[in-house]
Amino acid sequence: MNELDRLFVEDLGIYRHWDPQSERYAGGDALLTMLLTGWQVRGSVIQDTYKCSGARQMSLFHFELEAHGESVSMAVIGNPYVERVIHERHLRVVHLERSHRLETQTVEVAVPARLRKEAAV
């Protein structure tokens, strides 16, 4: 990490801690923090695209990172910021296409009788 990167992380307040045991998915800020603190991308980035309802879709980018003899897998929620980081660092992306859509799930919630009565009025 060069001095400019160190200043960028410390002075601009973008440092974002991420731990795979407490967060299933990371944001672009956590990815950039890891890259600026010495972690290197190992291999290709896997872009996993999910179809949502309508014409919407979302992407997860899967990174294998290593530093200091350690390695970690990081799933990053896709957005233009993450795509820019990938582009600016010339990372190779392998696209996966999901054949199924993400289905919305109906969740039943128990509503107390008092609240049901108030809502009916």
Token pair belonging to 61: 């980018």
pLDDT at site 96: 81
Domain ranges of the chain: 3-120
Rounded to two decimals, what is the model's pTM?
0.68
Going through 52-106 in order, the beta strands assigned E by DSSP cover 57-67, 70-77, 93-101
Mean of all residue pLDDT scores within the chain: 78
The CA-to-CA distance between both ends of the chain, in Å, stands at 63
pLDDT at site 4: 47
Closest to 91 measured CA to CA, from 64, 115, 118, 52: 64
Mean pLDDT in each 10-residue stretch from start to end of the chain (121 residues)?
Answer: 50 69 89 90 92 84 94 94 92 77 50 59 54
Hey, how many other C-beta atoms are within 10 angstroms of the C-beta on 40?
11
